[in-house]
Structure 1
Amino acid sequence: MDRVDLMPPPAGGDSAAPHDVAARADAYAAAPLLNCLLREVARPVAGREGVHRLPGCGKLLRVRGSRRPAAPEVYTDGGWHRLDHPELVKLVSEELRRHTGLPNHELPAEMADSRDAVAALLTARARASAPTDPYARSEQCLITGHPHHPAPKARGGGPAAGWLPYAPEAHARFPLALLGVREDCVVEEGDPSALDVLGEAPPGYRLLPAHPWQLELAGAALTAAFADGRLIRLGTTPFDTWPTAAIRTVHVPERDLFLKFSLDVRVTNDIRRLWRHDLLKLTRTDTAVRTAFAALDGPAAWLSDRGYRTAGFAFEELAVLVRDGLRDHVLPGATPCLAAGLVEGFAGSPLDGLADPAAWWEAYLARVVPPALAAFADHGVVLEAHLQNCLVACDDDGMPVQALFRDAEGVKLLTEVDRAAGWERLVYCLVVNHLLELADALAERHPGLDPWPAVRRELARHDLPEVAGLLTAPALPAKTNLLLRWTGADGADARYLPLPNPLAAG
């Protein structure tokens, strides 16, 4: 299956007819799973394009395509047998059991859930209207999602009716639930005062918005608090919010805010709660990043996580984090879009119809790379500069003029982590997870373009001792999401394997 089959259609909702939803869902779900398998476990067979050997079970696997592998086949009984998604999951599970020596019953179920979620999303998009705002379209286009995760669209295994109303990929819009927390139970840090303009709390209470899905998930744990008056219901916001690609982070256009909530669902590697240990260091981390960005040359911006508010009796379950909106940060006349959306594709993407892709790519690198390297070199700040944490604003001609970064929760400080580990994380997030994916997407659209000389030139402009090693190293660090999930490692316990370094080719 070619790239067009895996991309969202160019306008409106998803135009998939019911009869081909299943086939499209199989293709969307297979691509990231195959990417993981081919990167982490399989071994290419010399001289046979697209053919790989699975070392654990000894079987041969054949795929078409490279950036988004498709049409998986296994060699059996003297011929090639096409695998549907359940058969692919069974093959991957067999290989991993033999490869690791460990069983795992949870991940195969997540792989199936991810595929079924894609089918539900495709069906929902056929009935939905895409947002008119190109920024919102870029946040809500990720049907594939993380391109190197075995189950990027899993939604906890619950029925689709429970999560579709809150799914960004389904173009969801919804009001927030409003709660009142008794004043003596409120816990907050930083500046969450923007929450107070979302509604009105009665005397003796403070306003606390809640994500409706999380409120449903945490309902049983809150029963006593509602019963004794520590928590009261105050209705909903009089306006809708819409979920960003992060699912649990919503945009509030009427107040120019982003709000990030806990969500007791596993999305990719982690249960997406606002964990206490992360919230308690939020102010320190965000202050360090704001200080770093204030000293940068150029228009790069940081969307500050200003503060949080929660209830002491449900610290993690009800936590809400207040993040800067866009209005005060995006350059006048520029239009932001999510970097991950550029890779996935959406109607109105700056990548559509590029007259000079090489010039566009150079401008993109000049906006994205310097802030990340300067924050590291001059301030000891390791940005989590992957595709979902970076916005790129383009001018009326579609040329990148500004990069905006977000999510203090994923930031590391060199006062807390070893410099070598911090650099490895930066290289993974910025180069492997971000630039490599976008470079491949550009090269696929423009077969004559070699994107890597421009990346080498941009990196070489920066006087960091680590850069020289990066430009000559034979391999880059690639996170092993498939093996990490199969072996049950903590999602924050990143494990890397060597990936051939395209920067070293020049």
Structure 2
Amino acid sequence: MHRPAVAEAVMAAELAAVRPDLLSRFTAELPGARAAVLTRLWRGLAYDPLPWVAGRERGPEELTLRLRDGRSLRGPVPDPYATDAYVTVVRLDGEPYDDPARLMTALGVPHGSGLAAELDHSAVSSALSRAGRPAGTGREWPTEDWAWERRVVDGHPYHPNCRSRPGFSAADQLAYAPEHGPVVELRLIPVPAERCLVSGCWPAELRDGGRVLVPVHPWQAEHVLKQRGGPGPAARPLMSLRTLELPGGQHVKTSLSARLTSSVRDISVGSVAAAAALSAFGETVAAGTDGLLHITRTLGAVTAGSPDLAALLRESPRVYAAAGERVVPVAALPTTGLPRDPAWSARFARLALTVGLRLLERGIALEAHGQNLLVVLSASGEPVRLVYRDLADIRVSPALFGAQLPEGMPERILTDDVTALRRKLFGSLVAGALAATAGSGRALAAALADAVRQVPDTPHLAALTGEPLPAKALTLMRLSPGTPGDRWTDLPNPLR
């Protein structure tokens, strides 16, 4: 078999220096981590519209990709909604590959070398995440936001770069990644108020006379800003890594100019300028859902004129939980064991589709993937309400909304293209959050079949049940660095 040389060796050497007790567990987790990344990559190779794939031939037990250069790539019949690592080896012209980075190198496609390096990092970072996972996960339900979010050990359920963190050493990941449960000491960088753009209400405790104190991630302070700043609050990282839970429960989203999964995680000046308007719009949207949906408010946002030095303060999703209830990120639901009950999965799907389709009728498409979407569980575990956070990537149709949009709404989220609206919702909610919660195409089909019988019949529902399911072509996007924006593919509809 083909084994990587660089990333594993580097990670092992770094662990030997900073956490030698994790080294043997890291090594033991490597095969499973490689398979997890290879499974995600195989999904992309099987379904993304890749220009160098000439055709696909599906047999009873194997899928064959015919490449335009005459070679063939064979692997298991894919389940585009599976979350288990079921792909352990694929064969390129008969040669077996169990390592995704080596496979991408061997394919020799345009921009493949860059993706190969990211896949290499994704696999070793996944192994480190698994090595550091807490024992006894699932036995007791936590109350803190960060404790729920550290349970999502494997990262994005379908992205081959699920744990790619180039620029982060082993020590960085242990110090800052949520799955390791660290406490992160934020830095406060003072900026003269006249140099800052503030949206909403920036709190007095983050001001110093005529200066605004901008919370900064310590990695950003050291590697990008090159200034230490003053001591800030001790916070707990959440799933996105650059968003952290502050003492008292509020969340702070910081700039982090590193490529994590697909994107560089900075905060644009435009998003700060629009923060208050989007937050007010979110309250209007939530008010029209009969209490089935809450949208967390942005309390304040600030930028010093650069995406490298900005921050947003948001309320915790926990403020929408009553006594005895839990607010759980959808990405963490599989750790509760609840989705193993098909009837529970159907009830959750019905709640999510009811809210998502109702908003879509009003011209609002949420990007309701497992990180942005949370569910309020009753004391007995029933899904009773939804909470949504981070409105930056929603889409809104001015024509369909039928009401006056607030001033300051960012132009990039506005569209009257129904296809774009459906892709945004169905690709994130159904092909993303619901699929990953179900864990397989068969389980997703069962949950959806029960749910769609109990939601109002609309043209959007007809499109959901009768057309292929849209999903972001994540592998194609990473192989298309010169093409901005989302690229899409069609997945087999589990209801057909």
* TM-score using structure 1 length: 0.80
Letter of the structure 2 residue corresponding to residue 47 of structure 1: G
The equivalent of 1:488 in structure 2 is: 481
Q: Is the CA contact (8 Å cut-off) linking 2:146 and 2:245 kept in structure 1?
A: no
Q: Is the CA contact (8 Å cut-off) linking 1:192 and 1:321 kept in structure 2?
A: no
SS at match of 2:194: helix
Q: Is the CA contact (8 Å cut-off) linking 1:432 and 1:476 kept in structure 2?
A: yes
Q: Is the CA contact (8 Å cut-off) linking 1:350 and 1:399 kept in structure 2?
A: no
**CA 145–39 in structure 1, closer or farther in 2 if over 3 Å, else same:** farther
Q: Is the CA contact (8 Å cut-off) linking 1:285 and 1:411 kept in structure 2?
A: no
From 264, 268, 292, give the equivalent of 1:275: 268
Q: Is the CA contact (8 Å cut-off) linking 1:64 and 1:70 kept in structure 2?
A: no
Query: 1:266 aligned to 2:259?
Result: yes
Query: 1:383 aligned to 2:374?
Result: no
Q: Is the CA contact (8 Å cut-off) linking 1:273 and 1:316 kept in structure 2?
A: yes
From 435, 446, 456, give the equivalent of 2:452: 456
Q: State the shift of 1:109 in Å.
A: 1.0
Segments of structure 2 that go 5 or more residues without pairing to the other structure are 1-20, 399-413
Q: State the shift of 1:92 in Å.
A: 3.0
The equivalent of 1:411 in structure 2 is: 394
Q: State the shift of 1:438 in Å.
A: 2.3
Report the Cα distance in structure 1 between the residues aligned to 2:23 and 2:103, rounded to whole angstroms.
Answer: 31
> Over residues 413-468 of structure 1, what are the superposed CA-to-partner deviations in whole Å (9 max), with x where a residue is unaligned?
21321231222222211221222332335956x9xx8223113224xx33543322
**CA 65–295 in structure 1, closer or farther in 2 if over 3 Å, else same:** closer
Q: What are the within-5 Å matches in structure 2 for residues 307-346 of structure 1?
A: 307-312=300-305, 315-342=306-333, 345-346=334-335
Q: State the shift of 1:19 in Å.
A: 4.5
Letter of the structure 1 residue corresponding to residue 39 of structure 2: A
Q: Is the CA contact (8 Å cut-off) linking 1:248 and 1:262 kept in structure 2?
A: yes
**CA 370–257 in structure 1, closer or farther in 2 if over 3 Å, else same:** same
Letter of the structure 1 residue corresponding to residue 89 of structure 2: P
> Over residues 481-505 of structure 1, what are the superposed CA-to-partner deviations in whole Å (9 max), with x where a residue is unaligned?
11111121456x11212211123x2
**CA 192–373 in structure 1, closer or farther in 2 if over 3 Å, else same:** farther
Report the Cα distance in structure 2 between the residues aligned to 1:19 and 1:94, rounded to whole angstroms.
Answer: 24
- Point out the more displaced range, 475-484 or 277-286: 277-286
Query: 1:241 aligned to 2:235?
Result: yes
Letter of the structure 1 residue corresponding to residue 236 of structure 2: W
> Over residues 217-247 of structure 1, what are the superposed CA-to-partner deviations in whole Å (9 max), with x where a residue is unaligned?
2223x5xxxxxxxxx933222xx31111111
Report the Cα distance in structure 2 between the residues aligned to 1:36 and 1:273, rounded to whole angstroms.
Answer: 26
**CA 19–111 in structure 1, closer or farther in 2 if over 3 Å, else same:** closer
Report the Cα distance in structure 1 between the residues aligned to 2:22 and 2:78, rounded to whole angstroms.
Answer: 23
The equivalent of 2:154 in structure 1 is: 144
The equivalent of 1:72 in structure 2 is: 89
From 115, 127, 132, give the equivalent of 1:107: 115
Segments of structure 1 that go 5 or more residues without pairing to the other structure are 1-12, 223-231
**CA 452–408 in structure 1, closer or farther in 2 if over 3 Å, else same:** closer
Q: Is the CA contact (8 Å cut-off) linking 2:326 and 2:376 kept in structure 1?
A: yes
> Over residues 369-388 of structure 1, what are the superposed CA-to-partner deviations in whole Å (9 max), with x where a residue is unaligned?
2222222323x322111111
SS at match of 1:360: helix
**CA 397–129 in structure 1, closer or farther in 2 if over 3 Å, else same:** closer
Query: 1:250 aligned to 2:244?
Result: yes
Q: Is the CA contact (8 Å cut-off) linking 1:189 and 1:309 kept in structure 2?
A: yes
The equivalent of 2:15 in structure 1 is: none
Report the Cα distance in structure 2 between the residues aligned to 1:466 and 1:44, rounded to whole angstroms.
Answer: 30
Q: State the shift of 1:211 in Å.
A: 1.3
Report the Cα distance in structure 2 between the residues aligned to 1:306 and 1:29, rounded to whole angstroms.
Answer: 37
Report the Cα distance in structure 2 between the residues aligned to 1:73 and 1:397, rounded to whole angstroms.
Answer: 43
SS at match of 1:153: coil
Letter of the structure 2 residue corresponding to residue 418 of structure 1: D
* TM-score using structure 2 length: 0.81
Q: Is the CA contact (8 Å cut-off) linking 2:294 and 2:320 kept in structure 1?
A: yes
Report the Cα distance in structure 1 between the residues aligned to 2:98 and 2:44, rounded to whole angstroms.
Answer: 17
**CA 363–96 in structure 1, closer or farther in 2 if over 3 Å, else same:** farther
The equivalent of 2:211 in structure 1 is: 205
Report the Cα distance in structure 2 between the residues aligned to 1:439 and 1:14, rounded to whole angstroms.
Answer: 31
Q: Is the CA contact (8 Å cut-off) linking 1:305 and 1:408 kept in structure 2?
A: no
Report the Cα distance in structure 1 between the residues aligned to 2:441 and 2:115, rounded to whole angstroms.
Answer: 32
**CA 65–467 in structure 1, closer or farther in 2 if over 3 Å, else same:** closer
Report the Cα distance in structure 1 between the residues aligned to 2:119 and 2:136, rounded to whole angstroms.
Answer: 25
The equivalent of 1:216 in structure 2 is: 222
Q: State the shift of 1:321 in Å.
A: 0.6
**CA 75–91 in structure 1, closer or farther in 2 if over 3 Å, else same:** closer
Q: Is the CA contact (8 Å cut-off) linking 2:329 and 2:373 kept in structure 1?
A: yes
Q: Percent identity?
A: 24
Q: State the shift of 1:15 in Å.
A: 12
Report the Cα distance in structure 2 between the residues aligned to 1:288 and 1:58, rounded to whole angstroms.
Answer: 52
Q: Is the CA contact (8 Å cut-off) linking 1:113 and 1:157 kept in structure 2?
A: no
Report the Cα distance in structure 1 between the residues aligned to 2:482 and 2:158, rounded to whole angstroms.
Answer: 17
The equivalent of 1:180 in structure 2 is: 190
